[in-house]
Amino acid sequence: MNSAYPFSAVVGLADLKLALVLNAVSSRVGGVLVRGEKGTAKSTIVRALAAQLPQVAVVAGCRFHCDPGAPDPGCPDGPHEPDAAGALRAASLVELPVGASEDRLVGSLDLERALTEGVKAFEPGLLAAAHRGVLYVDEVNLLHDHLVDLLLDAAALGVCYVERETVSIRHAARFLLVGTMNPEEGELRPQLLDRFGLTVEVRATREPDERAEVVRRRFAFDADPEGFAARWAAEEAALAARIARARAVLGSVRLPDSRLRQITAVCAGFGVDGLRADLVTAHAAVAHAAWQGRDVVTREDVRVAARLALPHRRRRDPFDAPGLDERLLDELLDQTEPAAPEDPDDPDDPGGPEGPESPGPDDSGGPGSGRSEGPDGSGGPGAGSGAPKGTAGVSEGSGSVGSGSVGSGSEESNSAVGSGGRAHDDDRPQDVAAAGAPFRVPVLTVAGVGAGVAGRRSSGRGRHGRTIGTRVPTGAGPAGIDLPATLLAAAPHQLRRGRRGPGLVLTRDDFREPVREGREGNLVLFVVDASGSMGARRRMTAVKTAVLSLLLDAYQRRDKVGLVVFRGAGATVALPPTSSVEAGAARLRALPTGGRTPLAEGLATAAEVLRVERLRDPDRRPLLVVVTDGRATSGGDVTRAAAALAGVTSVVVDCESGPVRLGMAHALALRLGARVLPLESLGDLVRRKAG
């Protein structure tokens, strides 16, 4: 949808609207992470938010958007005079592309001017452009980790620090940070998840009438964008005015000590790590009280804030989906509810002027009312005190954070593996063995040095790592400058270039960039034997546990993963190559067993998956992990299928057990040129090395 689409015209998504508004009211809330499936208007509503923010006054000509009333004393364009001329402008909406460089994010120095003229010629980056506005990162889970670290550091500190070749610059960078992501494409690390203040899980409504209204409004917008926007102009203006009022009264909202203890008790009760959750929940509760027109934080403000601030901080296993048990939340709130009001005007007092029996000036949920309301006038989190526990008054499909039903193990993904077809050749019931707790596994790497995306598995050259040499820049711009090498390249040419002053005479040909060697992420393709020869429940439990452990290792090393399963009459691609390791774990857990063993078909399918993926992502090197006992009771020629995988770094996890072993997995490993790891010793290998 177009960025001019009105904020109020988006159907549903009450939690998301409220989370964005709370951040618009208070920058201390810490931003919003929007998780959801594709096609749910995540980007549309974020882009529409900027139009609702009040205009900001900026110092005329300042590239860093300083406030004339309180200019940044460290502004690179300053110092600004106290009575500097100002100008009003709309709050900026800055989008950070997934492929952005570090220099594009934080800014860069004009090294040619710095070396020749001795001046700090700084070109601001996107963080400077977003100051006092909105910074939007679509598909934030696909952004490189080091960029996410820089982004979240600036968001937390409100300052951007730039360190480049002995030159240090800092400038203010306070913005409303919004990230959107589709969990199917991979998760953010828990450490990065925790840095976002609030999170909202968005799903498209399953209600036909609401879906029809979405289509109807989209058609109306396409037919006449200006007329459509005009029809919503009054509601948009009212929303912007309400945000401005909430900002104005934010500093006067009081957080009673009893409510602060309630917040900390809730955070402790959910077992969240650290104290960031307590701070974010407190700031969000204060912002919600200001949004509702109250001057004291109430239980409902705490509940709404906790529902938005805690779900993504509850993850203990990387494969866990964010979620919150709202019944437990209500129990914790009940246990810590103050026995008596703080003062005669405390809104928590049932007999007070703002108690349940005495509604505020607007009984429809406006400012002063006792119920929570979404910014579009619909019920937001906690709307309606009579809502059943676990629903918080949010309508079906609105994207409730605490629904508890969101995760990579959905019915669709669970049914993908055992959906029939060629995967099994008899009518016997499918046996699904459970997986045990994952354990540490040996580090598996691809031989040689690659040039793939940054990760933590195999050796690779890129923008990060230790410097092993220098070279003339080969891309559109240098990946950083190696200053000593640049000076050495320029020194022999100074007389010929007519140098007369203290500065060096440089040309673009003199620049040298460092060659760095670090670690890259790989494509780890699992080929799992789910046939009857592997079907003993105890052995299949061990197999699933081992593969789950390898998946966890792939998650930690920033790999893409894929899953091929062979059993019965053929092989299927249970999970095409993806960054969503969680999806792989969900489908592995639902993997049924039984039938014959078409080993050749499994290898042939793996070869085809790697061929297609090589065309899509040529720089990402594959690592093949075949989990089997090596038997082949049906299908084609194993030797020919293995030959198609020549040159691929491979590992065979030998699942053969019992006192008599035929060594078929070792024979397969010889055909593949693979390393063999016995299934039962995967965890022991790590323990022996550690000892």
**Positions marked catalytic:** 276
> Cβ-count burial of 433 within 10 angstroms (0-12 exposed, 13-18 middle, 19+ buried)?
buried
Q: Compute the distance between CA of residue 369 and CA of residue 358 in angstroms, rounded to an integer.
A: 9
Identify any residues that bridge with 168 across adjacent strands, giving them in sequence order.
Answer: 163
The CA distances from residue 176 to 21, 590, 666, in Å, are: 10, 40, 56
> Cβ-count burial of 474 within 10 angstroms (0-12 exposed, 13-18 middle, 19+ buried)?
exposed
Q: How many CA atoms lie within 13 A of 640 on its CB side?
A: 4
Q: Are strands 198-202 and 32-36 parallel, antiparallel or unpaired?
A: parallel
Question: What is the arrangement of strands in the sheet containing 176-181, beginning at the earlier edge strand?
Answer: 93-95, 134-138, 176-181, 32-36, 198-202
| 8 A C-beta contact, residue 651 and residue 672 | no
Q: Which residues contact residue 190 at a Cβ distance below 8 angstroms, ignoring those fewer than 6 apart?
A: 315, 318
Q: Compute the distance between CA of residue 482 and CA of residue 167 in angstroms, rounded to an integer.
A: 14
Tell me which DSSP letter residue 254 carries: B
Tell me the three state secondary structure of residue 82: coil
| 8 A C-beta contact, residue 197 and residue 29 | yes
| 8 A C-beta contact, residue 149 and residue 454 | no
Element (H, E) at 86: strand 86-89
Tell me the three state secondary structure of residue 251: helix
Burial 238-265, CB ≥16 within 10 A → b, else e: ebbebbeebbebbeebebbebbbebbbe
H-type alpha helices, 225-363: 225-231, 233-249, 257-269, 276-291, 299-309, 326-335
